[in-house]
Protein backbone atom coordinates (compact mmCIF):
# COMPACT_ATOMS: atom_id res chain seq x y z
CA UNK A 1 0.00 0.00 0.00
CA UNK A 2 3.01 2.27 -0.46
CA UNK A 3 1.52 3.87 -3.58
CA UNK A 4 -1.75 4.48 -1.69
CA UNK A 5 0.13 6.32 1.03
CA UNK A 6 1.89 8.42 -1.59
CA UNK A 7 -1.41 9.35 -3.25
CA UNK A 8 -2.95 10.39 0.06
CA UNK A 9 0.16 12.41 0.93
CA UNK A 10 -0.08 14.20 -2.43
CA UNK A 11 -3.78 14.85 -1.76
CA UNK A 12 -2.95 16.44 1.60
CA UNK A 13 -0.20 18.56 0.03
CA UNK A 14 -2.51 19.72 -2.79
CA UNK A 15 -5.22 20.55 -0.24
CA UNK A 16 -2.86 22.72 1.79
CA UNK A 17 -1.65 24.46 -1.39
CA UNK A 18 -5.18 25.25 -2.56
CA UNK A 19 -6.09 26.51 0.92
CA UNK A 20 -3.14 28.89 0.92
CA UNK A 21 -3.97 30.21 -2.55
CA UNK A 22 -7.64 30.82 -1.71
CA UNK A 23 -6.68 32.33 1.63
CA UNK A 24 -4.35 34.79 -0.10
CA UNK A 25 -7.18 35.82 -2.44
CA UNK A 26 -9.64 36.31 0.39
CA UNK A 27 -7.28 38.48 2.47
CA UNK A 28 -6.05 40.52 -0.53
CA UNK A 29 -7.17 44.06 -1.31
CA UNK A 30 -10.14 42.80 -3.33
CA UNK A 31 -13.41 43.02 -1.35
CA UNK A 32 -14.18 39.49 -0.26
CA UNK A 33 -17.07 39.78 2.17
CA UNK A 34 -19.94 37.28 2.09
CA UNK A 35 -21.33 36.47 -0.47
CA UNK A 36 -18.32 37.28 -2.65
CA UNK A 37 -17.48 34.20 -4.82
CA UNK A 38 -14.00 33.92 -3.31
CA UNK A 39 -15.48 33.89 0.19
CA UNK A 40 -18.15 31.39 -0.84
CA UNK A 41 -15.43 29.07 -2.14
CA UNK A 42 -13.40 29.65 1.04
CA UNK A 43 -16.40 28.69 3.17
CA UNK A 44 -16.99 25.61 1.03
CA UNK A 45 -13.39 24.54 1.64
CA UNK A 46 -13.94 24.86 5.38
CA UNK A 47 -17.14 22.81 5.30
CA UNK A 48 -15.88 20.12 2.91
CA UNK A 49 -12.48 19.60 4.53
CA UNK A 50 -13.91 19.49 8.05
CA UNK A 51 -16.49 16.97 6.85
CA UNK A 52 -13.78 14.94 5.10
CA UNK A 53 -11.91 14.72 8.41
CA UNK A 54 -15.16 13.61 10.06
CA UNK A 55 -15.55 10.87 7.42
CA UNK A 56 -12.01 9.72 8.16
CA UNK A 57 -12.74 9.74 11.89
CA UNK A 58 -15.91 7.70 11.37
CA UNK A 59 -14.67 5.17 8.80
CA UNK A 60 -10.96 4.77 9.51
CA UNK A 61 -9.80 1.43 10.84
CA UNK A 62 -6.74 2.27 12.89
CA UNK A 63 -5.27 5.17 14.90
CA UNK A 64 -8.59 6.00 16.53
CA UNK A 65 -7.20 8.58 18.93
CA UNK A 66 -5.19 10.28 16.18
CA UNK A 67 -8.24 10.47 13.88
CA UNK A 68 -10.40 12.21 16.47
CA UNK A 69 -7.60 14.54 17.54
CA UNK A 70 -6.93 15.55 13.93
CA UNK A 71 -10.65 16.11 13.32
CA UNK A 72 -11.01 18.34 16.40
CA UNK A 73 -7.83 20.26 15.50
CA UNK A 74 -9.12 20.71 11.95
CA UNK A 75 -12.41 22.13 13.25
CA UNK A 76 -10.57 24.50 15.59
CA UNK A 77 -8.14 25.61 12.88
CA UNK A 78 -10.84 26.30 10.28
CA UNK A 79 -13.04 28.11 12.83
CA UNK A 80 -10.20 30.42 13.84
CA UNK A 81 -8.96 30.87 10.29
CA UNK A 82 -12.35 31.91 8.90
CA UNK A 83 -12.95 34.28 11.82
CA UNK A 84 -9.57 35.96 11.42
CA UNK A 85 -9.78 36.40 7.65
CA UNK A 86 -13.46 37.18 7.05
CA UNK A 87 -14.74 38.62 10.35
CA UNK A 88 -11.71 40.03 12.22
CA UNK A 89 -13.79 42.62 14.11
CA UNK A 90 -15.99 39.91 15.69
CA UNK A 91 -13.38 37.19 16.00
CA UNK A 92 -14.64 35.47 19.18
CA UNK A 93 -18.24 35.49 18.01
CA UNK A 94 -17.40 34.18 14.52
CA UNK A 95 -15.02 31.53 15.86
CA UNK A 96 -17.70 30.17 18.16
CA UNK A 97 -20.33 30.10 15.41
CA UNK A 98 -18.05 28.21 13.07
CA UNK A 99 -16.96 25.82 15.81
CA UNK A 100 -20.60 25.05 16.62
CA UNK A 101 -21.49 24.44 12.97
CA UNK A 102 -18.44 22.33 12.11
CA UNK A 103 -18.64 20.28 15.30
CA UNK A 104 -22.38 19.71 14.96
CA UNK A 105 -22.17 18.44 11.39
CA UNK A 106 -19.01 16.46 12.14
CA UNK A 107 -20.58 14.68 15.12
CA UNK A 108 -23.63 13.91 13.00
CA UNK A 109 -21.50 12.44 10.20
CA UNK A 110 -19.41 10.37 12.61
CA UNK A 111 -22.51 9.07 14.37
CA UNK A 112 -24.23 8.05 11.14
CA UNK A 113 -21.08 6.36 9.82
CA UNK A 114 -20.60 4.43 13.05
CA UNK A 115 -24.18 3.19 12.81
CA UNK A 116 -23.51 2.22 9.19
CA UNK A 117 -20.43 0.26 10.26
CA UNK A 118 -22.50 -1.69 12.74
CA UNK A 119 -24.86 -2.64 9.93
CA UNK A 120 -21.96 -4.03 7.87
CA UNK A 121 -21.08 -1.02 5.69
CA UNK A 122 -17.52 0.23 5.93
CA UNK A 123 -14.36 1.28 4.18
CA UNK A 124 -12.63 -1.62 2.44
CA UNK A 125 -9.15 -1.69 0.93
CA UNK A 126 -8.66 -3.33 -2.46
CA UNK A 127 -5.29 -4.99 -2.05
CA UNK A 128 -4.97 -6.49 -5.52
CA UNK A 129 -6.83 -7.00 -8.74
CA UNK A 130 -9.58 -9.63 -8.62
CA UNK A 131 -8.45 -13.14 -9.46
CA UNK A 132 -9.82 -14.86 -12.58
CA UNK A 133 -13.15 -16.63 -12.06
CA UNK A 134 -12.89 -20.18 -10.81
CA UNK A 135 -14.76 -23.14 -12.24
CA UNK A 136 -17.84 -22.00 -10.34
CA UNK A 137 -17.74 -18.53 -11.88
CA UNK A 138 -17.19 -16.87 -8.49
CA UNK A 139 -14.48 -14.22 -8.48
CA UNK A 140 -12.95 -13.71 -5.03
CA UNK A 141 -12.80 -10.05 -3.99
CA UNK A 142 -9.45 -9.31 -2.28
CA UNK A 143 -10.64 -6.62 0.12
CA UNK A 144 -9.36 -5.89 3.60
CA UNK A 145 -11.57 -4.13 6.14
CA UNK A 146 -8.66 -2.50 7.98
CA UNK A 147 -7.83 -5.66 9.90
CA UNK A 148 -11.29 -5.91 11.45
CA UNK A 149 -13.06 -9.25 11.29
CA UNK A 150 -16.64 -8.63 10.27
CA UNK A 151 -17.69 -11.93 11.86
CA UNK A 152 -16.59 -10.67 15.27
CA UNK A 153 -18.86 -7.61 15.15
CA UNK A 154 -22.47 -8.22 16.04
CA UNK A 155 -25.26 -5.70 15.37
CA UNK A 156 -25.32 -2.82 17.87
CA UNK A 157 -22.07 -4.03 19.46
CA UNK A 158 -19.48 -1.26 19.78
CA UNK A 159 -15.79 -1.74 20.40
CA UNK A 160 -13.88 -0.03 23.19
CA UNK A 161 -12.29 2.39 20.73
CA UNK A 162 -15.66 3.31 19.25
CA UNK A 163 -17.02 4.02 22.71
CA UNK A 164 -13.96 6.17 23.37
CA UNK A 165 -14.62 8.08 20.17
CA UNK A 166 -18.25 8.69 21.13
CA UNK A 167 -17.21 9.88 24.60
CA UNK A 168 -14.61 12.23 23.11
CA UNK A 169 -17.07 13.76 20.65
CA UNK A 170 -19.73 14.09 23.36
CA UNK A 171 -17.27 15.72 25.76
CA UNK A 172 -16.26 18.27 23.12
CA UNK A 173 -19.89 19.04 22.29
CA UNK A 174 -20.92 19.43 25.96
CA UNK A 175 -17.88 21.58 26.70
CA UNK A 176 -18.70 23.89 23.80
CA UNK A 177 -22.37 24.03 24.81
CA UNK A 178 -21.43 24.96 28.38
CA UNK A 179 -19.15 27.70 27.08
CA UNK A 180 -21.84 29.10 24.79
CA UNK A 181 -24.56 29.10 27.46
CA UNK A 182 -22.41 30.39 30.31
CA UNK A 183 -20.81 33.27 28.43
CA UNK A 184 -23.81 33.98 26.16
CA UNK A 185 -21.55 34.00 23.11
CA UNK A 186 -24.26 33.11 20.60
CA UNK A 187 -27.67 34.70 20.10
CA UNK A 188 -30.65 32.71 21.30
CA UNK A 189 -32.97 33.85 18.52
CA UNK A 190 -35.06 31.13 16.90
CA UNK A 191 -34.22 32.28 13.37
CA UNK A 192 -30.47 32.05 13.99
CA UNK A 193 -30.66 28.45 15.19
CA UNK A 194 -33.01 27.45 12.40
CA UNK A 195 -30.63 28.86 9.79
CA UNK A 196 -27.72 27.10 11.50
CA UNK A 197 -29.62 23.82 11.67
CA UNK A 198 -30.63 23.94 8.01
CA UNK A 199 -27.08 24.76 6.95
CA UNK A 200 -25.69 21.87 9.02
CA UNK A 201 -28.26 19.42 7.65
CA UNK A 202 -27.52 20.55 4.10
CA UNK A 203 -23.78 20.13 4.60
CA UNK A 204 -24.22 16.66 6.09
CA UNK A 205 -26.57 15.63 3.28
CA UNK A 206 -24.13 16.76 0.59
CA UNK A 207 -21.16 15.17 2.38
CA UNK A 208 -22.82 11.75 2.69
CA UNK A 209 -24.08 11.84 -0.90
CA UNK A 210 -20.58 12.80 -2.09
CA UNK A 211 -19.13 9.95 -0.03
CA UNK A 212 -21.40 7.44 -1.76
CA UNK A 213 -20.75 9.00 -5.17
CA UNK A 214 -16.98 8.93 -4.73
CA UNK A 215 -16.44 5.58 -3.01
CA UNK A 216 -19.55 3.56 -3.88
CA UNK A 217 -19.28 0.32 -5.82
CA UNK A 218 -22.55 0.08 -7.73
CA UNK A 219 -25.01 2.17 -9.77
CA UNK A 220 -22.79 5.18 -10.66
CA UNK A 221 -25.68 6.94 -12.38
CA UNK A 222 -27.89 6.64 -9.30
CA UNK A 223 -25.06 7.85 -7.06
CA UNK A 224 -24.54 10.97 -9.17
CA UNK A 225 -28.29 11.60 -9.31
CA UNK A 226 -28.56 11.36 -5.51
CA UNK A 227 -25.70 13.84 -5.14
CA UNK A 228 -27.41 16.30 -7.49
CA UNK A 229 -30.70 15.95 -5.63
CA UNK A 230 -28.90 16.52 -2.32
CA UNK A 231 -27.40 19.75 -3.67
CA UNK A 232 -30.78 20.94 -4.94
CA UNK A 233 -32.54 20.12 -1.65
CA UNK A 234 -29.85 21.78 0.48
CA UNK A 235 -29.82 24.87 -1.74
CA UNK A 236 -33.60 25.23 -1.68
CA UNK A 237 -33.83 24.89 2.10
CA UNK A 238 -30.98 27.31 2.80
CA UNK A 239 -32.29 29.90 0.31
CA UNK A 240 -35.75 29.87 1.87
CA UNK A 241 -34.50 30.34 5.43
CA UNK A 242 -31.95 33.07 4.69
CA UNK A 243 -33.68 35.57 2.41
CA UNK A 244 -31.36 38.40 3.54
CA UNK A 245 -28.66 37.27 1.11
CA UNK A 246 -28.80 38.80 -2.35
CA UNK A 247 -29.77 36.09 -4.85
CA UNK A 248 -29.64 33.29 -2.23
CA UNK A 249 -30.25 30.49 -4.73
CA UNK A 250 -27.12 31.39 -6.68
CA UNK A 251 -25.02 31.85 -3.53
CA UNK A 252 -26.04 28.60 -1.86
CA UNK A 253 -25.92 26.59 -5.07
CA UNK A 254 -22.29 27.72 -5.43
CA UNK A 255 -21.59 26.86 -1.80
CA UNK A 256 -22.97 23.33 -2.00
CA UNK A 257 -21.64 22.67 -5.52
CA UNK A 258 -18.13 23.71 -4.48
CA UNK A 259 -18.40 21.40 -1.48
CA UNK A 260 -19.58 18.49 -3.59
CA UNK A 261 -16.84 18.99 -6.20
CA UNK A 262 -14.10 19.19 -3.59
CA UNK A 263 -15.38 16.17 -1.67
CA UNK A 264 -15.88 14.00 -4.75
CA UNK A 265 -12.51 15.02 -6.16
CA UNK A 266 -10.73 14.16 -2.91
CA UNK A 267 -12.63 10.89 -2.55
CA UNK A 268 -11.78 9.88 -6.12
CA UNK A 269 -8.11 10.17 -5.24
CA UNK A 270 -8.78 7.94 -2.23
CA UNK A 271 -10.67 5.58 -4.55
CA UNK A 272 -7.66 5.40 -6.90
CA UNK A 273 -5.59 4.54 -3.82
CA UNK A 274 -7.72 1.40 -3.49
CA UNK A 275 -10.43 2.29 -0.99
CA UNK A 276 -14.12 1.47 -1.46
CA UNK A 277 -17.31 1.99 0.50
CA UNK A 278 -18.65 -1.55 0.66
CA UNK A 279 -20.68 -4.04 2.66
CA UNK A 280 -17.72 -5.48 4.50
CA UNK A 281 -19.56 -8.48 5.91
CA UNK A 282 -20.75 -9.52 2.46
CA UNK A 283 -17.27 -9.09 0.99
CA UNK A 284 -15.75 -11.02 3.85
CA UNK A 285 -18.14 -13.89 3.21
CA UNK A 286 -17.64 -13.72 -0.55
CA UNK A 287 -13.85 -13.87 -0.23
CA UNK A 288 -14.01 -17.09 1.78
CA UNK A 289 -17.12 -18.59 0.11
CA UNK A 290 -20.57 -18.91 1.64
CA UNK A 291 -21.88 -22.32 2.71
CA UNK A 292 -24.54 -22.27 0.00
CA UNK A 293 -22.10 -21.75 -2.86
CA UNK A 294 -19.97 -24.47 -4.48
CA UNK A 295 -16.34 -24.51 -3.39
CA UNK A 296 -13.32 -24.07 -5.68
CA UNK A 297 -13.13 -27.80 -6.33
CA UNK A 298 -16.65 -28.00 -7.67
CA UNK A 299 -18.10 -29.69 -4.57
CA UNK A 300 -20.10 -28.21 -1.76
CA UNK A 301 -18.07 -26.06 0.63
The reported pLDDT for the residue numbered 76 is 87
- pTM exceeds 0.85, yes or no: no
Residue 4: count of CB within 10 angstroms of its CB: 16
Stretches where the chain sits below pLDDT 70 are 1-2, 29-34, 88, 126-191, 242-245, 280-301
Strand pairing partners for 123?
A: 277
The reported pLDDT for the residue numbered 206 is 95
Q: Report the distance separating Cα 106 and Cα 129, nearest Å.
A: 34
**Residue-wise pLDDT tens digits, 186-245:** 555 666 777 788 889 999 999 999 999 999 888 889 999 999 999 999 998 888 876 566
Rounded to the nearest integer, the mean pLDDT of the chain is 75
The reported pLDDT for the residue numbered 292 is 40
> Could you tell me if residue 206 is left (phi over 0), alpha (psi between -120 and 50 degrees) or otherwise beta?
alpha
Residue-range domain boundaries for the chain? 2-24+35-123+141-288
H helix count then E strand count, the chain: 9, 3
The reported pLDDT for the residue numbered 32 is 57
Amino acid sequence: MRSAGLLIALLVAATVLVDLVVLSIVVSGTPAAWPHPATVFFFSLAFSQANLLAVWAGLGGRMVVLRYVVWILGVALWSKLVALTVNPTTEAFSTTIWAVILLAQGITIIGLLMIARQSGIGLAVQQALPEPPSATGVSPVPLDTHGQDARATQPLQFSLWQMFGWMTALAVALGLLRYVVHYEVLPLAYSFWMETLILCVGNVLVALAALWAGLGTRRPGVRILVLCLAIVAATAAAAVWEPGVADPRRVYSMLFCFQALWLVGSLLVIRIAGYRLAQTKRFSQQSRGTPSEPGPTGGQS
